[in-house]
Amino acid sequence: MKIDFSDINGKVCVLTGGCGVFGRVFGQAMAEAGAKLVIMDYKQGRCDECCMDIFKKKGDSVLCVVGNVLQKDSLVEAKKEINEKFGKIDILINAAGGNAPTATTKDEFIDSDNLNQLDKTFFGLDIEGFRSVFDLNFLGTVLPTMVFAEDMINRNGSIINISSMNSFRPLTKIPAYSAAKASINNLTQWLAVHFAKTNIRVNAIAPGFFLTKQNEFLLIDEKTKELTARGNKIIAQTPMGTFGQPEDLIGLLLYLSSDISKFVTGVIIPVDGGFSSYSGV
């Protein structure tokens, strides 16, 4: 057995949310590993712009495809194009996802300070925001798996979902995102069992805290540019004492994509600088 990731070379990898902060780094990594890479995102202009860098370097082995993870028809269309140009799909990375301010409470707790301002709490959440965050993270993983995984049957396929720290214990302020990521863990295990006899593996990466666009408003004070109280709390609860860099996820991504992990399925692996192991004492 070869002890490297060279079996990824030539495999067809679909990356949803391919133009996001993590997606861009994942795409570079999979392209460097020699995958035939499909970068998928849902807006044409965004997709063209973000594909350009990798495309310039890797040319024919990169395909930029517009696909909406919440619309089955759009994914079926995308699959036709992928199959025509690259053949059957081997690896699926479900990286479209995220939180939104409309599904975030202003306050962490209900207490005597905000009893007259319940709009700052759970009671003030916008249900459409709640729904869209839940849908993007949960259905946005279910649907691409439903459309793309059929190609993987009996061909050693690998599906990698993106979970989060809040899937193990919810974080304050973001109930929809926390519940949706918990559902990703459950779905990962369910699919791993369901697909096990067809040699499709399903695993998830649970990133810890990475300072990115989607959580910046919670972690950095807009005016002072200093860490917010929440940002400081996170650093204090992370034994390694720092936020992660998206590149820190690459080793695990390649491991789960490659046949080197061929007996690993149904696991959710944290990459978190020790956050989930630390009780705070």
Ligand X SMILES: NC(=O)c1ccc[n+]([C@@H]2O[C@H](COP(=O)([O-])OP(=O)(O)OC[C@H]3O[C@@H](n4cnc5c(N)ncnc54)[C@H](O)[C@@H]3O)[C@@H](O)[C@H]2O)c1
Could you tell me the smallest distance in angstroms from the CB atom of residue 276 to ligand X?
12
- Residues with Cβ within 8 Å of residue 59, at least 6 apart in sequence: none
- Is residue 188 part of the contact set for ligand X (CB under 6 A)? no
Pick the piece of the chain touching ligand X (CB under 6 A) from 38-46, 190-198, 222-230, 260-268.
38-46
- Is residue 258 part of the contact set for ligand X (CB under 6 A)? no
Q: How far is CA 191 from the centre of its chain?
A: 17
Which residues in 58-97 contact ligand X (CB under 6 A)?
A: 68-70, 95-97
- Is residue 228 part of the contact set for ligand X (CB under 6 A)? no
- Is residue 185 part of the contact set for ligand X (CB under 6 A)? no
Which is nearest to 148 in space by CA: 131, 160, 165?
160
Bridge partners for 41 per DSSP: 66
Could you tell me the smallest distance in angstroms from the CB atom of residue 217 to ligand X?
12
Contact 149, 159 (CB under 8 A): yes
Q: Which of 22, 86, 130, 148: binder of ligand X (CB under 6 A)?
A: 22
- b or e along 190-209 (b: 16 or more beta carbons within 10 Å of the residue's beta carbon)? ebbeebeeeebbbbbbbbbb
Pick the piece of the chain touching ligand X (CB under 6 A) from 85-93, 208-216, 226-234, 265-273.
208-216
- Is residue 271 part of the contact set for ligand X (CB under 6 A)? no
β 157-162/91-94 pair status = parallel
The pattern of x and - marking residues 103 through 142 that bind ligand X according to CB under 6 A reads ---------------------------------x---x--
Helix (H) or strand (E) holding 270: strand 268-271
Half-sphere exposure of 45 (CA within 13 A, CB side): 0
- Interface residues toward ligand X, by CB under 6 A: 16-17, 19-23, 41-42, 46, 68-70, 95-98, 136, 140, 162, 164, 207, 210, 212-215
